[in-house]
Structure 1
Amino acid sequence: MHIIDSGSLNNSEQQLISTVLSSYGFTSNWKAQRGKGGMNNSTFMVEINEECYVLRQYETHNDPMKIAYEHEVLSALSRSEFELDVPVPVSLPEDKHATFLAVQDHSSGRSKIVTLFHYREGHNPVWNTPEQLSGLGRVAGMLSSVMARLPISLAPVYPPYYQIQEAYPLCSPEKLLQLCTSPPDTLMACADDLHKLQEVLPDLFHTLRGMEDLPHQLVHGDLNASNVLADSQDILCAILDFEFATWDLRVMELAVPMSDLLTMDKEQAWMWEALEGLIQGFRQQVSLEPEELSVIPTLILLRSLDVVMHFISRLFEGTDEPEVAVQQIRKLRERVDWMKGNEKRLRKLLI
């Protein structure tokens, strides 16, 4: 098996791809290029005999239990009535039930989990009009309705968002508050943001109590523009990256894209129209209880807080440069400021 026109890849990446493709039984020549990927994995676009695949090397999620759970969710979705496409892992030739393998990463010396997916044509949407967010809300609601009924035999690996104190041992609530009081050198660029967050985080952690009484189900947990695909007509056609799928609050599937929307560089009138469309699109598919709607402002901030603790943990692990955590800390502070001035109006929108 030979490489064709993959000069942009380094030797370690070429060796990785060759090893993986051989394990999947491919013997033909191939060509590949690095994909955009996400913050939690490395992605390569691979072409073999004019057939395209996506090779994913997991980084943050380099855990067999996490990948097995993700792939069971994908398998169940592929058998369901869900109308959009989802990633389809390629089975290994010696075991049709096996959809990932561990390979040696020669650049780090560590064992990494790798999966080969069938390629789905499409592009990440750019939110140019508020009406597009109504489509995202509708798709999120459609997914939520189907996920509520999926038969999953494995136990979820990730805790619900509101159990954030269990999710990040390297950045517990206590550790985060300590960082707010005395920022390390690596986070001095956002020291003012951390000091401001110190005033609101204790109350935010306190408001998470009692969330366990709200309706729960299986959720994707990370719906945003980078995790959906649109077709040539800009109609959403696929949902990607189910790595964070877990048993959580049903309403979290709406709160996550709402939270991500708040830091877009848009005029306020545009933002409010987009928020209204997102909410209405979701509620066309899912009937939410008043108690669920009432906690959305808290969950919007919780989503951003979770991202902060995630990337501070990656900073401490040495996975990311400080700038990544700094950016997310600033986004959380921006959302906190936004909520102070707009929560009353947001709650009226949610009624």
Structure 2
Amino acid sequence: MPTLNVAPGLAAGGVFLFAARMTGDTPLGSSLNTAPPDLSERESLDLLVRHWGIEGRLDRLTSERDLNWRVSSERGRYVLKFANRQEDPEITRFQNLALQHIAAKDPSLPVPRVIPAADGATEVPLVDGSLMRLLSWVEGRPAHLAPPSSPLRRGVGAMAGRLTRALEGFDHPAAGHHLQWDIKQASSLRALVPDIADDALRQLCAQWLDWFDAIRPGLDALPWQVVHADLNPHNLLTAEDDATVVAGVLDFGDMVRTPRICDLAVAASYQIDPAAPLASLAEVAEGWADSLPLLPKESALLPGLTAIRMVTTIAITSHRAARWPDNATYILRNFPSAKAGILALPRP
């Protein structure tokens, strides 16, 4: 089992601040501050029939910034996706190309497959400038419904490592896009910290951001690549007959080029057992190491980067839930586990 060593605290000097695209007074960017597309079920189905020739029933799926429908048809089940109108179309194309890369590199990985339209196109532009696309449906049970267990934690780590391995060698001009969920952008979360209502939690998050500012330059020396970057339990599926087996990965909307270790930190941040935080973190890392053995520097930074992902979840969801109260239940779905996890991990 990998040994995890917490990186020692560094002096407050040498703070490295990342420039962020600002929208109003926040660093979230336009797609995170713009409501999802507002097409009706009938309008969405008409577009599906026109471009894919598929008739069926549409059931709306929850999404942070896009409009997604589950399609049930005689030809099978699919996910019909309409990108946020503020999202650069190249980012949608980036996601499709990544899925195609994964399918070629590791065909047995349980991820969505891109379904071409009738004319062979993988994305269809709409009049507002956004894109629609169709993906295959991945079978399984939502992992957030599975009881926590050591085998599941190792399975999450193993799937994360295998997926990151499958994305090795893939790149795209949009891979460097700014996304506030990306761990390497954590310094610009300071603009959102005041939105955290709990005083003690707000102060703890600020302390972790001080830690991150100090270690940020060292991330440049680690391996970087395109990663999924959002392996939370709502984007993972377990097997129908075994809640300890990870059977699918969904939602590649947060993919980005970043330090490789950040993908493990994201996955681990949702698997922490507050009663045994470092031991549960090591279980996730053990699964990851089956495909990608940790470098010593990655191992040392992993606990802190895991905490930074929790800070990211707490800060962004606090801000967005206030802005979009009608979608607050969905936005805040991971807040409780992030709060419990960050309170359990050793302090910076």
Alignment of 1:248-259 (within 5 A): 248-259=258-269
Match of 2:169 among 133, 149, 165: 149
- Higher-RCO chain (CA-CA 8 Å, sequence separation at least 6): 2
Match of 1:47 in 2: 72
Match of 2:154 in 1: 134
Describe the shift of the 1:338–1:249 C-alpha distance in structure 2 as closer, same or farther (beyond 3 A): same
Task: Note the C-alpha offset of 1:21.
Answer: 1.1
Partner amino acid, structure 1, of 2:133: T
Task: Please list the CA deviations of residues 208-233 of structure 1 after superposition, one character each: whole Å capped at 9, or x if unmatched.
Answer: 23211111122111113222223333
State the alpha-carbon separation in 2 of the partners of residues 326 and 231 from structure 1. 25
Describe the shift of the 1:65–1:319 C-alpha distance in structure 2 as closer, same or farther (beyond 3 A): farther
Partner amino acid, structure 1, of 2:305: L
Match of 2:255 in 1: 245
Task: Please list the CA deviations of residues 292-342 of structure 1 after superposition, one character each: whole Å capped at 9, or x if unmatched.
Answer: 11111221122123334544564586586667777767765544432236x
Q: What is the root-mean-square deviation of aligned Cα atoms in Å?
A: 3.2
Between structure 1 and structure 2, the one with the greater Rg is: 1
Structure 1 position 83 matched with structure 2 position 89:
no
Task: Note the C-alpha offset of 1:81.
Answer: 2.6
Q: Which runs of 5+ in 2 are unaligned?
A: 1-37
Match of 1:34 in 2: 60
Match of 2:220 among 200, 212, 219: 212
Task: Using the aligned pairs only, state the percent identity.
Answer: 19
Match of 1:163 in 2: 185
TM-score (norm 1): 0.74
Match of 2:137 among 81, 105, 119: 119
State the alpha-carbon separation in 1 of the partners of residues 81 and 316 from structure 2. 20
State the alpha-carbon separation in 1 of the partners of residues 135 and 328 from structure 2. 31
Partner amino acid, structure 2, of 1:176: L
Task: Note the C-alpha offset of 1:72.
Answer: 0.9
Structure 1 position 287 matched with structure 2 position 293:
yes
Task: Note the C-alpha offset of 1:102.
Answer: 3.9
Describe the shift of the 1:65–1:313 C-alpha distance in structure 2 as closer, same or farther (beyond 3 A): farther
Match of 1:229 in 2: 237
Partner SS for 2:78? strand
Match of 2:191 among 158, 172, 175: 175
Alignment of 1:55-66 (within 5 A): 55-59=80-84, 62-66=87-91
Q: Which runs of 5+ in 1 are unaligned?
A: 1-10, 105-109, 166-171, 344-351
Question: Does the aligned pair in 1 maintain the 2:261–2:298 contact within 8 Å?
Answer: yes
Question: Does the aligned pair in 2 maintain the 1:217–1:248 contact within 8 Å?
Answer: yes
Task: Please list the CA deviations of residues 110-134 of structure 1 after superposition, one character each: whole Å capped at 9, or x if unmatched.
Answer: 6653221122222223144221211
